[in-house]
A and B are shown apart, each in its own frame.
Chain A
Amino acid sequence: MKPPPRNTLTRTRADRQLLPSFWTEYISARTRGATEEVIGDAKAIFTAPVLQELQRHLSMEALATPFLFTEQLRNRVVAVSIGYRDNTQIVAVNARFKFDPEVMAHTLIEEYAHAQQRINGTDFDAQRRLYQYDDRPYELEAKRLATTVLGYEAPDYDARLIRDEHEDALGN
């Protein structure tokens, strides 16, 4: 068993990377239940130094992708980047789990990297057909960016399921 997720940013590496207001939003969503209201974009998640570093790698368009908390995701996903037919995008975070702050920080950078990849025209389906999850170039690139920006690899923490998965849950 891995260590349980920590409840606050304090004494985690995600402190000074994730905004305290973002963490409060997350605790609200997982406690009160997610409403799928749009919280903001990357500026409402990351602190100024992280945002500045992200701007070196990602476009303003990608970083302007809105995010929300949802109850609709499958158990097997922390968060997803969704692309619509009209070329708009959204980042959705699974509010049914307790995640560690460092896992959350890593994941959200990965999602914004996916938003950039979609803008760049990455063919996700083609890569899925060719590679297993861990070997997909778009996943490797997103994880690499998150590690570069945050300064640590995706950490190994348990995730605690708070509410059960919906019957018609969404996932990649």
Chain B
Amino acid sequence: MRQLRAALARIAGFFTGHRADDDLQDELQSHLDMETAEYIRRGMQPDEARRQALLMSGGLTQAAEAVRDQRGLPWIDGVVADIRYALRGLRHSRAFTAVVVITLALGIGANTAIFSVVRGVLLKPLPHRDGDRLLYLRQSVDGPGGANIEFSVPEINDFRNGARSLGAIAEFSPYTLTLQGKDDAVRINAGLVTGNFFEVMGLSAVAGRLTGPGDDGPGVPPVMVLTQEFWQRRFNGDTGIIGKQVRLDGTSVTVIGVLQAAPYFPDRADALLNMVISPHHLSAQMVQGRTHRMTEMIARLAPDATVPQARAEVTAVYSRMQRDHQDAYDPGSHYRVAVIPFKEVLGERARLTLWLLMAAAAFVLIISAANVANLTLMRGVQREHELVVRAALGAGVARLRRLLLVENLALTLVGAGFGVLLAIGGVRLLTSLAERYSPRASEIRLDGVVLGYTSALAVALALLLSFLASLPKEGTFASWIAAGMRRISGSLKKQRLQRGLVVVQVAVSVVLLAGAGLLTRTMIQLSNVSTGLRTEQVLTMEVPLIAPATATLADDVDAKQRYQRMQREMQAIHGVIDVGVGSIMPLGTSQIQLEIKAEGRMLAVGEAIPRAEYRTADPLYFSAAGIPLLRGRPFAATDQEGAGRVVIINQALANQFFPGEDPIGKRIAWTGDVLRFTPFSGDWRTVVGVVGNTQDGGLDAEPRPVVFMPFAQELAITGVLVLRADTDVGGLAAAATRVVRGIAPAAPIENVMTVAQIKDQSVSPRRLNAALVSLFGILAVIIAAVGIAGVLAFSVNARTTEIGIRMSLGADSGRVQRMILSEGGVLLAIGLVLGVAGAFLAARLIQGLLFGVAPYDPTTFIGVAILMAAIGIGACWLPALRAARIDPAITMRAL
């Protein structure tokens, strides 16, 4: 109670200090007066009495100070004074403050921005209920396109029945539908899901309802759940749409609800529907065909089950499956299943890139901090005089330390403030990068946690800086003063610390530069990769005219006629050279990959069953796309429905099937159990041509074997128009779109892109990567250069007298210059050696991000070392020149 009352009184005293001060002065004065009067009464002269009274008081100021300490909160008073003092001091050394704040702002800003991305994409808890219990299962085989071959329904059912630790399993089939609007049509990416999908995923509706088990199976009405983004984009977030019917592929579907915002997974989807929309998904083929793999699988761990248990069980069930159905699992292809926690799989493509950037940003911060530490140390030396005076006036070491801390906090917090401003811009840029790697990019926020991280960073830096400065032990100030207040330090110990920091800066800069160099070379190598096409003046547009699930033969005939009309009309556009039609755009990849065989060719022992992409092309497709014909002939108008079955293969397949032979005239055929579920026949077909490989699916992708079928002989499942022009083909997009609109007013038109744009899609994330790391590298080098120059300048300053003496004893300015240069050169050399060693390690870690350049690329490493050495020597030169200009006469006189 008493303590509380006293504490309250003190807090009140803290605020009413000024009034109480006057009161106290009066009281002390009255005391003094009474005492003086007493001495006079005893017979002293008034002056003497007053002197005696003052003597006895022990000092009025000291008394007032003691009372003030008792009255208010002296600690806060002190801190407020310190802050005022610190700010005044920083205002007076503007250059120092500016350099430190800018350095810190860059370091902290980079860290804040990248941390907010790392957090949003990798660390934040998932929006799914108990998201850490969600598992994704992935089936893979060897070879291009085999990383994820999805599951068949029988396989999923085996896991349902066999793996108890997977509490519930939901299915998701990617599916494309055309949504017919009032006056347009769009293709939407949908997911066909089982009724338990949302329950398993732990997601809820923001409006309406989600699908449930009652929506499974045939005989139920088709319903659709919109994702929030699509709902906003297409329906302007109007809840009135719920309960309404929309036309999807010609079928009426009821919109039942809107899903909460969540990462798109397993696939990007605008809407999720029950299976009934696609009769095929409920057919016996689909439900019983073990090789008919087109379903993604999500599982929620059973209560009490753990991920390792689930892994063990899945492995056991899977090997039993492979034993029981040997025909469905070709041993040469190495079928395997991975069980991956959700958070991991959602971040898997972004992880390496983001940690790389995080590490680069951390390096920049280390260099910044080292620089600030050096600046602070140097300033500390210049301030020794001031600190000694303060100590003489009664400030203890703790008090001085507190002053330093307050000063450094002011610096780091202001730096952090500007850093956050930088980060706000940076986050926007980084989000566009993250979108290419992660479905969680929309969760990136500069939120409270990130700001907390930033503040923690600032405070930690301030603490580090404050305790780096060495203050003398309590009670040794006297010796400082006795030393005549000349510079006491320049002490070797402090210089050793500064030099150590310079070495660190150089080393870290080298690591960053090496990373930047490797990534920049990767990007250059990648953009120099030939697409395999003869020209970039190619425009593509995807115009699907029929819905594969419901199309009739008559629809197909009609669609083909319309494509021909489009071709004819586009051909008439000024500047167009060729117009072709095919199923897949040049440099694109097809989802349809089938097993294939060549007549008379036996599989080698242990060889995986060959697979190839299925595509179609019309007679003009290759010349329009600029795909070179290496042998044989292109398709001809005579390769019609009912004519001889012919195919054109690409170089990759030709090399695989007919190495050293002429493939023309050889016969190949689709094969495998899965053909039963497709419209593709396994008839033998004669190879009439071989075309060159193209960089399908990215400039860094392996060429995949491809089989082109005549467009006229196959179902027109998709239709891509390809235009080649003599000049600027991008300018023809509008005219080409008008042609399509005239012939198919309601058809969706998608992927209107030039080949240059397609190519850029695979280069641009790398370009951003390389640009960011290079930016960090350049920053690091600049900061490090400032650091080297600063430390040497300080050293020259501290050794002015010594240099003066040397010069007066006959050392010429060249010699002095060399002395300072070699002082810096040693630091530079040590830093370079350590940096190159560190860069070798770092390069191994980022190997996965490199393309066309070895992690130990000698050109990069030598270049980086030379660059760093050149900049470092340049930074040493300035202080060396200054040392050489020291006038011995002046320095000697100052002694």
Does B bind A? no
